[in-house]
Amino acid sequence: MATSERLPVWAETLRQRFLAGESSMFLLHGNVKDICRYDGADGVEYVPVRTFLERFLARSKSIVAYYNCSEGVTFPEPQMRREFSSTVNAVRMMAGLGELGVIPDLSYEVLPLLESLVMNTGVSAAVILDYFETIVPEANLSFMGEGDKGNLVTLQRWTSSPSLLSSNNVVILMTENISEANRRISSSPQLAHIKVALPTLSERTDFINFEIDRSAGNVTLDVPVDQLAKHAAGLSLTSIRALFRSAEQSKNPITFKAIAARKKIIIEQECHGLVEFVEPRHNFSHVGGMERVKNDLMRIAGAIKQGHTSRVPMGVIFVGPMGTGKTYVAEAFAGESGLTCIKFKNFRDKWVGSTEANLEKILSVVDALGYVLLIIDEADRSLSSGAGGDSGTNSRVIARLKEFMSDTTHRGRVVILLMTNRPDKLDTDLKRPGRFDLKIPFFFPETIVERRAILEAQVRKNRLNLSKGVTVDFAADETGGYSAAELEAVILAASANSGVDGRDSISSDDISRAVGDVIPSRDTRMLEFMEMLAVFEASSRRLLPERFRDVGADEVQLKLDQLRLVLGNRVR
C-alpha cells in the first residue's frame, strides 16, 4: 500500500498495521459514510470513504473489488474486472468448473468467487465488503437462512486462513455500527478493528477553509473560521458541507445561531430520534431554596468554564422522591454550565443488535461533541440490571455505559447526570466513585423559608403577577409536607382562580382557595422510602437536611428494611 501525501488517521493506521503484517483483514466502523480528504494528482479533493479506499488501494493493488448487496461487485477501473474474471476462471478451471460468465449479485454466490481471489498468492488484490451487517447479519444461528450461514462460514474461514495473511491481499469490511456486525466474525482475533472517527478540530478547520475557497466568495461567514470549526464539533464533514450549500442557496451568512440550529437538527437526525436537545429556559435564579445543592453545582459549572477538569465529577446522580425538582434543577444546571444538554430518549429496539447499535451511535456523537451534559431520566427504568428477559441485551447496554462512564478522557468534557427515585434498582458498580463522584439527595422543602423561596421562584418562572401587597407567605405557612411540584401546582391553581374572575393579578383570596384545593401526595410510606434511599445514597453529609446528618448507616438500613416489609411487592 503506497501512501498519499496526507492520510486520514484511520487510513494511516490501516496502512501501518497491514505493512507490519499484523493483519490482512480489517473491520472499518463508525463514520464510514462521511467524506474525507484525498490528496491526488489533481490536488486536494474530499471524496466518500468508499472512493478514497478504491483510489488508495488501486495505487498498490492490481485488482480492487467492491461489493454490497445492492450494487453487486464493482471495480474502479475496467481492466480490473477483466483481470478479476481471468483470475477466477483460472481457479475454476483447476477445480474442473466451467468458465464464469456474468458475475452474480447474491452474496452467497459472490463470496466464494472473492475467496478464490484473496486466497491467491499470485495476485495483489483488495476486496471491500460494504454494509457488512447485511452480508452476515447478527442473529442466532437457528434463525439464519442457509445463505447467511454459508456467508458466515466463508468469512470465518477467511479470518483464520494463514493463506490470506501470507498473501499480499487485503480484505476490508465496513459497517457504521460495530454492534450490528456478526459477533462470530467481529470477535475474531485475526480481524483488526479500526474506528473511523468523526472529524477532529484540525480536520474541520482544513475542510472549512477548503469550502470557503470552493465557494469563491458566495458564502459569508459572521463567525471566525477557528470558532466555526470549534462550534461544529460532533458534525461530519458531510454535515458541514450541507451547511455551506444551504448558505450558498439562501444567500444568508453563516452565524453562530445558524450553526447551532443546524447542528441540533443534524445531530437529532443522525441519532434517528434517539436523543433530544434540551434548551434550558431557566437558570438557578428560578430555583427556590436548595442552596447547598445550587452552591455545589455552581462550583462544578465554574470549573467547567475555567477548564479545571480535575474539579469536575465524572458523573452526578440526583436521587430523591418524585416532585422534588430533579429535572428542573438539571436543566437549570445546563443553563449555568454552558454545556450542550442532551437527554436520552427511548433507544431500545425489539430487533437483535439494534439497541446496542443505537446506544453506540449516541455515545459516538456525545464523545465527538464534547462539553455535553447527558441526562438520563428515570434511570432505574432504563438501566435497571433486572430489566426484562432480553437475551442479554440489557447487560450489554449497561456494560457499554459503564465503559463509557469510566473513560477519564471525558472528565470535564462529558458530564453524565442520572436521575432516579429508586437508586436501589441500579447496579452498585454503576454508582461507584469514578463513574459517579457526586450523588446529590433531593428532599421536600424542610422549612417555611424554603417553601417561600420555591413559591416566589415559581412566580418568576411562570411570569405571574401578584396583586399589590400580596405575598406567598400564607401559602408557605400552610403547605408543610408539600413537594416542589405541588407548590408549583398551588401557584398555578391560584393563577387559574384569578383567570376565572377575569383578573391578570393573583389576590390573597386566590392563593387561599388554591391552598385549600390542591391535595398533596398521600402515599406517605412510599415517599418516606424514597427519602431514606436518598439519605442512603448521598455522597456528602452537608447535602443532607439537619435531621439526617447524624443518622448512621445501620439506622438508615434498618429503616429501609422496615419500609420494604410494609410496602411489599410495591418496591420489588
pLDDT tens for 65-122 read 999 999 999 999 999 999 999 999 988 888 888 888 888 899 999 999 999 898 888 8
Is there a single domain that holds both residue 427 and residue 553?
no
Task: Establish if 4 belongs to a structural domain.
Answer: no
State whether 518 and 550 are in the same domain.
yes
Are 117 and 127 in contact by the 8 Å Cβ rule? The answer is yes
Residue 2 lies in a domain: no
CA distance 496 to 499: 5
3 pLDDT higher than 50: no
Q: Are residues 371 and 264 in the same domain?
A: no
Confidence class of residue 561 from pLDDT cuts 50, 70 and 90?
A: very high
Q: Are 196 and 49 in contact (CB under 8 A)?
A: yes
Specify if 517 maps to a domain.
yes
Closest to 46 measured CA to CA, from 175, 197, 198, 203:
203
pLDDT band at 32 (very low <50, low <70, confident <90, very high): very high
For residue 479, the SS3 value is coil
Assess contact for 419 and 330: CB atoms under 8 A.
yes
What range defines the domain where residue 416 resides? 277-441
Tens digits of residue pLDDT in 179-196: 788 888 988 888 999 999
The beta-strand segments (E) located in 435-560 are: 438-441, 465-466, 505-506
Torsions phi, psi for 319 (to 5 deg):
-125, 145
pLDDT, residue 352, reads 58
Which CATH number covers residue 471? 1.10.8.60
Please say which residue of 196, 213, 239 terminates a domain. Answer: 196
The reported pLDDT for the residue numbered 477 is: 93
Domain-located, residue 120: yes
- Is the pLDDT at 491 greater than 90? The verdict is yes
The mean pLDDT of 225-240, rounded to a whole number, is: 85
Per-residue H/E/C for 339-352: CEEEEECCCCCCCC
Pairing assessment for the beta strands 35-40 and 340-344 based on DSSP bridges: unpaired
d(CA 523, CA 527): 6
Asked whether residue 184 falls in the same domain as residue 253, the answer is no
Taking phi over 0 as left and psi of -120 to 50 as alpha, with beta for the rest, 408 belongs to alpha
Domain count, the chain: 4
pLDDT above 50 for 328:
yes
**Cα 105 to Cα 208: distance, rounded to the nearest angstrom:** 39
pLDDT > 50? residue 487: yes
Q: Give the model's pLDDT for residue 359.
A: 84
- Regarding whether 457 and 547 lie in a shared domain, the answer is yes
Question: Backbone dihedral region of 568: left (phi > 0), alpha (psi from -120 to 50 degrees) or beta?
Answer: left
On whether both 326 and 260 belong to a single domain, the answer is no
Most confident among 29-38, 246-255, 500-509 (mean pLDDT)? 29-38
Whether residue 287 sits in one domain with residue 434: yes
Are 30 and 109 in the same domain?
A: yes
- Is residue 415 within a helix (H) or strand (E), and if so which, with residue range? strand 414-420
Is residue 3 assigned to a domain?
no
pLDDT category of residue 131 using cuts at 50, 70 and 90: very high
**Considering the chain, what percentage of its residues have pLDDT values greater than 70?**
95
Domain membership flag for residue 183: yes
> 44-56, pLDDT tens digit by residue?
999 999 999 999 9
**Residue 144 pLDDT > 70, yes or no?**
yes
pLDDT of res. 389: 47
- Over residues 543-560, the mean pLDDT reads 90
> What does the block give as the cell for 429?
458498580
| Comparison of pLDDT for 504 and 28, the residue scoring more | 28
CA dihedral 399, 402, 404, 409 (to 10 degrees): -150
Shared-domain flag, residues 491 and 398: no
The average pLDDT across 273-289 equals: 79
The rounded mean pLDDT for the chain is 87
Residue 4 has pLDDT above 50, yes or no: no
How many helices and strands, by DSSP H and E, does the chain display?
23, 16
User: What does the block give as the cell for 205?
Assistant: 478547520
Could you tell me if residue 1 is inside a domain?
no
**Residue 313 lies inside a defined structural domain of this protein:** yes
- Given 237, 253, 270, the domain boundary residue is 270
Q: Are 504 and 494 in contact (CB under 8 A)?
A: no
Same-domain pairing of 288 and 437: yes
Calculate the alpha carbon distances from 166 to 91, 122, 124, 161 in Å. 19, 11, 12, 9
Q: Are residues 57 and 172 in the same domain?
A: yes
Confidence of residue 344 (pLDDT cuts 50, 70, 90): confident
Grid cell locating 326: 430533579
The CA–CA distances, whole Å, from 25 to 61, 138, 367 equal 15, 19, 27
Cα gap 539→571, rounded to integer Å: 23
- pLDDT band at 353, cuts 50/70/90? low
> Is the pLDDT confidence value at 346 over 90?
no
**Number of other CB atoms surrounding residue 249 within 10 Å:** 9
* Maximal C-alpha separation, the chain: 102
Over residues 8-30, the mean pLDDT reads 92
Grade residue 128 by pLDDT with cuts at 50, 70 and 90.
very high
Among 53-62, 165-174, 254-263, 316-325, where is mean pLDDT lowest? 254-263
pLDDT band at 391 (very low <50, low <70, confident <90, very high): low
Radius of gyration of the chain (CA): 30
Q: Where does 435-507 have alpha helices with state H?
A: 448-461, 473-478, 484-500
> Can you tell me the mean pLDDT for 313-328?
90
- Where is the domain boundary, 377, 406, 441? 441
User: In this structure, what are the phi and psi dihedrals at residue 555, rounded to the nearest 5 degrees?
Assistant: -65, -40
d(CA 554, CA 551): 8
> Which CATH number does the domain housing residue 22 bear?
3.40.50.300
Contact present, 355 and 347 (Cβ < 8 Å) = yes
Q: Is residue 368 domain-shared with residue 457, that is, in the same domain?
A: no
